[in-house]
Amino acid sequence: SKIWKYLIGLLLALIVFRLFRTNLKGQKMKELQNLLSQKLPEAGYSPKQARYWWAIAQYETGKFQNSLFNYANNPWSMRRPKVRKTTAVGQTQRGAWAIYRNIPEAVEDLILYLQARQYPRDFPDFATFVAFMKAKGYFEEPFDFYYNGAKGYV
pLDDT at 121 (0 to 100): 97
pTM of the model: 0.83
Q: Are 102 and 75 in contact (CB under 8 A)?
A: no
Q: What is the 3-state secondary structure (H, E, C) of 89-119?
A: CEECCCCCEEECCCHHHHHHHHHHHHHHCCC
79 SS3 class: strand
pLDDT tens by residue, 37-84: 999 999 999 999 999 999 999 999 999 999 999 999 999 999 999 999
Confidence of residue 19 (pLDDT cuts 50, 70, 90): very low
Residue 38 has a pLDDT of: 98
